[in-house]
Amino acid sequence: MLATLGDASGVAAEIAALIRVDNPHIDVRLAGLGQDGKKLTSELEEAARDRPEDVAAIVVPLLTGPHPVADPLIASAVEAAEASVTVTAPLGPHPLLAEALHMRLAEKELARADRMRLLNVSSPVDAVILVTVGGERAAAEAEPTAVLLASRLTLPVLVASLDSTPTVADTARRLRGIGPQRVALSPCLIGPEGDFGLVAAAAAEMEVEYADPIGAHSLLADLAARAYGSILALG
């Protein structure tokens, strides 16, 4: 069971479709959390009726990290369903998440696409700011992803938050104060969890370029399937 902010459409539906194609043996369902999480509760109750003797569902949040709105909605929806349900951790941090972020940067020519063959070619930027939503906790828990991305890019990568501290502006000034002048933003966002317009606005304020959100990337679909499989392995 995939759980997403908003409704069960757009990027979330595309990710669900990718998982179904690559994992035809998995019953992939998608529930939008809406304003109250009741749709997820309904889907979990239906799953429990279909599997009365088993774990009704494994809920995989379509998030790269903790989220102050989604997390309590998922918890309350699971509690209301009164079914045997396991909720996985979000999809990050993970090397595959860092790889997806790297690819989005490369698509905008803000990073070298091949870090192994082109090590002697100068980088398009001097540093990257990994942009998060979800407050200070989400920013703190994105630090391992920043480290993984920095390793891939062989560049400094710092974390900034769109809705908390450290801000994008403060982080960009900090970077420029210690040397790097060509800075790019890498949104650690799937899509539904944040307003991408805020990324564009922050980039315009600091006069920097930015990559697209991760969106319906095949690597995210792989991560979601792995999260599901890791719970099965424990059983």
Helix (H) or strand (E) holding 146: helix 143-153
What ranges do the domains of the chain cover?
2-91+217-234, 95-210
pLDDT band per the 50, 70, 90 thresholds, residue 54: confident
Q: Residue 228: is its pLDDT beyond 90?
A: yes
Higher pLDDT, 234 or 103: 103
Q: What is the mean pLDDT of residues 63-89?
A: 96
What pLDDT sits at residue 235? 61
Averaged confidence pLDDT in the chain:
93
Q: What is the mean pLDDT of residues 71-95?
A: 96
What pLDDT sits at residue 116? 43
Fold of 95-210: Rossmann fold (3.40.50)
24-40 pLDDT, tens digit each: 999 999 999 999 999 99
